[in-house]
Amino acid sequence: MLKIGNYNFTSRLLLGTGKYPDFDIQKRAVDVSETEVLTFSVRRMNIFEPNQPNFLEKLDVDKYTLLPNTAGAKTAEEAVRTAKLAKASGLCDMIKVEVIGDQKTLLPDPVETLKATEELLKLGFTVLPYTSDDVLLAKRLEELGAHAIMPGASPIGSGQGIINPLNLSFIIEQAKVPVIVDAGIGTPSDATKAMELGADGVLLNTAVSAADDPVKMAEAMKLAIESGRLGYEAGRIPKKRYATASSPTEGMSIVE
């Protein structure tokens, strides 16, 4: 069971809703992923085209916990405003704090992320900050009261997988709140690796939505995350330098 603030989830996959080829594929991918948390962004409506389709309207909203992000924000102030707008929808009180400090790497601005997290916690939000894999920053976010810590595996949408498993494992070890590995996942094995390290969940989007077959990849990611979690709970064997026979060495019938 994944517990974030007052929410409980069976699934440990949090799925983004951006960049799918079409709404039908997206709906099927969301269904097979068995995710319970969907992320969204807040943007201006095109008021002159009221009939533009919107994925949210195709969903049974009650079935999912919505996790809007503050993507687009460059400062804490902008992130707080976006979070307030999202909450005014009446559909959610969770927020993924995402304050991007650099447009080329899309890496989060640590100072603004801290500020936004602090302010949103004061306002009563359930706050999940997207952060770098900096261990001390993760600690500072937790000390503020963040409900989960979401370190990136590698830059957003890069599909590079986990570039610093050591830092990630330090973050996981020290955290008393859930650690959700967010951003940079490319393959199912990346997601499995994150879960084997002890992450409490994985948030991904592009790895599924931009796959050749998003529906199949959604299922692969679901299985990968379940598998990695089971492996983590089961406890791996220690690594040894030399071989250890798995067959008994006693009672061997020797050909004379």
Partner 1 sequence: MELFINGDTVTVQDTVQTVVELLEHFELDQKKAIVELNATILDKESYSKTKIQDGDRLEIVHFVGGG
Q: Which residues bind partner 1 (CB under 8 A)?
A: 16-20, 26, 39-45, 47-48, 50-51, 54-57, 66, 68-69, 71, 84-86, 88-91, 156-157, 183, 203-206
List the one residue out of 105, 107, 80, 106 whose CA is nearest residue 95. Answer: 80
Catalytic position from the list 27, 84, 87, 96: 96
3-state class (DSSP) for residue 84 = helix
Q: 39 vs 126, which CB is nearer to partner 1?
A: 39
Q: 50 vs 238, which CB is nearer to partner 1?
A: 50
> What's 73's DSSP letter?
B
Nearest approach in angstroms of CB 56 to partner 1 is: 5
Nearest approach in angstroms of CB 70 to partner 1 is: 10
User: Distance of CA 124 to CAs 6, 28, 101, 117, 118, Å?
Assistant: 12, 34, 25, 11, 10
Contact 219, 188 (CB under 8 A): no
User: Distance of CA 248 to CAs 240, 241, 252, Å?
Assistant: 18, 20, 8
Distance (Å, rounded) from C-alpha 122 to C-alpha 116? 10
Contact 40, 61 (CB under 8 A): no
Nearest approach in angstroms of CB 52 to partner 1 is: 9
Residue with tokens 């992000």: 69
Torsion from C-alpha of 17, 93, 96, 120, nearest 10 degrees: 160
Nearest approach in angstroms of CB 103 to partner 1 is: 16
Describe the crossing of helices 135-144 and 165-174 by its angle, rounded to 10 degrees: 30
Q: Is 87 a catalytic residue?
A: no
Nearest approach in angstroms of CB 18 to partner 1 is: 4
Q: 135 vs 208, which CB is nearer to partner 1?
A: 208
Q: 135 vs 207, which CB is nearer to partner 1?
A: 207
Contact 38, 246 (CB under 8 A): no
Q: 93 vs 232, which CB is nearer to partner 1?
A: 93
Q: Which residues are catalytic?
A: 96
